[in-house]
Amino acid sequence: MKLYYAVLETKLGRMLATRTEKGLNNLLFHQPTWGKFFEELEERKDLELIKAEGKFATLRKQLKEYFTGKKVKFTDKLDLSSGSPFEQKVWRKMMQIPYGKTVSYKKLAQMAGEPEKARAVGNACAKNPLTIIVPCHRVIKSDGGLGGYAGGLERKKRLLNLESGKEK
């Protein structure tokens, strides 16, 4: 299997994007673990890791627009196969949260048809491989607190401010 990748520069830092033939499967803010991630990928005999900036041109353009505060409809096909069926269901429901709006983990669990699984929804958010496109930053605690965010709480706050027009 071929895995294409590129590192994209954004207003909030570098992001790693990867895609399979099925579609975009990772969009993650820079983490200290990237080196280990690439080492593990390079060890896999069933995987060919290919740097392919051109395969991410549309995504790069759409992210640039997003980070200027524009509401963007991301058009890449997505490959969500890294998640369990429950996680995939939660991620799809997350994509229905309107730009500039937030919902609680509890509300997202209800949207996913699993009202008793708010904690499991939080775990699905933490495993979200496609930040911004699958907008886990729009999911907050019932009391209005931010909750968690794999990209860091400061980024979550800035993404919410960007979408609400408080940050340009």
pLDDT tens digits, 77-100: 999 999 999 999 999 999 999 999
What's the pTM value of the predicted model, to 2 decimals? 0.91
136 is catalytic: yes
* Cα–Cα dist 5/152, whole Å: 22
Q: Kindly compute the dihedral angle of the four CA atoms of residues 42, 16, 8, 138, in this order, to the nearest 10 degrees.
A: 170
Assign residue 152 a region (left: φ > 0; alpha: ψ between -120 and 50; beta: otherwise).
left
pLDDT digits (tens, 9 = 90+) for 136-154: 999 999 999 999 898 889 9
Annotated catalytic residue within 111, 136, 140, 159: 136
